[in-house]
Amino acid sequence: MLFKAVSQNNRALAIWWDLCPGLFLAAFLSAVVKTLNACAAIWLSARFLTELAGPQNPRTLIALALAQLLSSAVLTLLCALGDRLKDYEADCAACLYNKIYMEKMLSLDYPRAHSQSTCELYAQIMQNDTWSALGIREAFRLFELSVAGAAKILAGAVLTFPLFLSPIPQPKGILAILDHPACPFLLAAVMAAIALLSSACAQKAQDYWTRHAARTRFGNRLADFYITAGRDRKRALDMRIYDQQKVLRHLYVKDHNPFGPSSQIARQAKGPMGLWAALSQSASAVLTALVSLYVCLKAWAGAFGPGSVTLYIGSTAYLFQGISQLSGALGRMTANISFLETSFRFLDLPNTMYQGGLTTEKRRDGQYEIEFRDVSFRYPGAREYALSHVTMTFPIGSRLAVVGMNGSGKTTFIKLLCRLCDPTEGQILLNGIDIRKYRYDDYMDLFSVVFQDFKLFSFPLGENVSGSLPLDPHQADQCLKKAGFLTWDTALPQGLSTPLFSDLDDRGVELSGGEAQKIAIARALYKDAPFVILDEPTAALDPLAEAEVYEKFGQITEAKTAVCISHRLSSCRFCHKIIVFDGGSIVQVGTHEQLVHDKEQSGNMSR
């Protein structure tokens, strides 16, 4: 178990090293300087006391006082600098910490990243981190504890070693045992045993806390929801109209508060958990008493003077503290195994989508043809197919509408088209080649998409339009105008530099749903990809703005192949072809006039 704990911890430390190597140097230097400061104080205090109890030479006393003052000032300053450096590196690492999981999430295949199991695993890691920072965060804290413990053991052993070499001048009776060669080894063994016992008792107390991980994670989830729900603007109206805070308060405070005075954790803290913690402290007190007794007996027998008594009691206590810290770190490594395994299970998730090597043709004429050949798709864990036996060919350079009720398969169709998912059955071809053979990023560059649940960021307007591409102010201006966002140059005081929303800038402007949707359309146009896909592009627009968008639909999409997803057949009259989905299958294909005529004919036949 210990070997596994060290192995897992080392892997976590390797992640920290890649993330912020300066943190290790800062922790090491801080531990060394603090150890030197403590040892200098112990040694100089002992020398000062020896001089006071002996010759009392004024020059020596003044020199020792000055040495203690100077060393204390210099080492305390170095300790402060070391702590400042460590805090700086720790803050840098804290800012980068989420990068560990975000980079993994962004590198995962879309179906894997958004599967229920992956989201639950990621949520568990975040809850562990919020609850007690166990997992990868804990690994570095244990490194700090181990380095500090090892430094204390080394320094304490150096200062304590002369204790066993100081002979008693004329050992008599039972005091002669103190000069026996086996006595130092026996005392060292007792110190190690009590230190391990103290650490084991402390670990027993910690184990009770660790056992409640699942309960406290759930409690933290409720607490986070309870705390944030009241200030969530999206929930504010419903919270007040329906007095929902009472339900939340009862759910958290009454039913699921793992930290309340009557909770199981509180009862165990007052019972066995507290008892083990007390035993740990008692073991430390017993060891201090034994060491003090041994040192005082040797001093009484004449082995050394009162100054050395201070030195040896202080150094042995420091040695014991180091042993306790190091053994405690090893114990906590064992307790951290399950939390590290959760993190590594997420970081080790494999990608299963095939990554091709072909590059797509960069055609300025938009002459691309996509064919769905008997394509079916079923989401992981689902029984029913979201798409079933879809066969169709995209008209090159034309405008295609995809219509259907909610759940008919429209969004799944778009995900497959953009290769966010791969078909369960069948093939999707680009210019006659299976899209899985193309480089994934190269294929994705062919598409500009405005999703129904699109998001804008709290960045300047220009950066929201350009996305990850370099900002060309003239091009951004043209794309905003094409999308119908015509007031930005007069209503927004800083033009393209105007920050959106107030999350990061107090001067940020709040947008209506329609304005945000027009910016999202402008962003899709700015990418200038051969395929433009609009998923419910007018959902947040008023009727006049909706009519304007559809009237300009040809101008917006120009010579590109455009796909428009809608619930309403009437909104697709500007498209060359309309595909109607129902139950995951294509049930009708035609122009707007043809489909309306078919509907009228079927109505006449039913009459």
Q: With beta carbons less than 8 A apart as the criterion, state whether 9 and 333 touch.
A: yes
CA distance 101 to 87: 22
Per the model's pLDDT, the better-predicted residue between 580 and 504 turns out to be 580
CA 1, distance to chain mean position in Å, is 27
> Residue 540 has what pLDDT?
60
Per residue in 61-75, pLDDT tens? 888 788 888 888 888
Per residue in 214-254, pLDDT tens? 777 677 777 777 767 767 777 777 777 777 777 766 666 66
pTM here is 0.74
> Residue 603 has what pLDDT?
46
pLDDT > 80? residue 54: no
> Residue 260 has what pLDDT?
67
> Residue 363 has what pLDDT?
56
Q: Calculate the average pLDDT of the chain.
A: 80
| Residue 256's pLDDT band (cuts 50, 70, 90) | low
Per the model's pLDDT, the better-predicted residue between 543 and 49 turns out to be 49
Instruction: Measure the N-to-C terminal CA separation of the chain; round to a whole number of Å.
Output: 79
Provide the Cα torsion 423, 427, 433, 436; round to 10°: 20
Which percentage of the chain shows pLDDT scores above 90? 6
> Residue 373 has what pLDDT?
93
CA distance 387 to 585: 6
> Residue 348 has what pLDDT?
92
Per the model's pLDDT, the better-predicted residue between 569 and 497 turns out to be 497
> Residue 172 has what pLDDT?
64
| Residue 599's pLDDT band (cuts 50, 70, 90) | low
User: Residues with Cβ < 8 Å from 140, sequence gap 6 or more?
Assistant: 12, 13, 16, 23, 27, 93
The stretch 367-387 carries a mean pLDDT of 85
> Residue 259 has what pLDDT?
66
| Residue 377's pLDDT band (cuts 50, 70, 90) | very high
The stretch 147-170 carries a mean pLDDT of 83
Per residue in 208-219, pLDDT tens? 777 776 777 677
The stretch 332-337 carries a mean pLDDT of 83
Per the model's pLDDT, the better-predicted residue between 574 and 118 turns out to be 118
**Is residue 391 within a helix (H) or strand (E), and if so which, with residue range?**
strand 387-393
Per residue in 483-514, pLDDT tens? 878 665 556 778 888 888 877 777 778 887 77
The stretch 282-308 carries a mean pLDDT of 79
Per residue in 5-17, pLDDT tens? 888 888 999 999 9
CA distance 292 to 163: 12
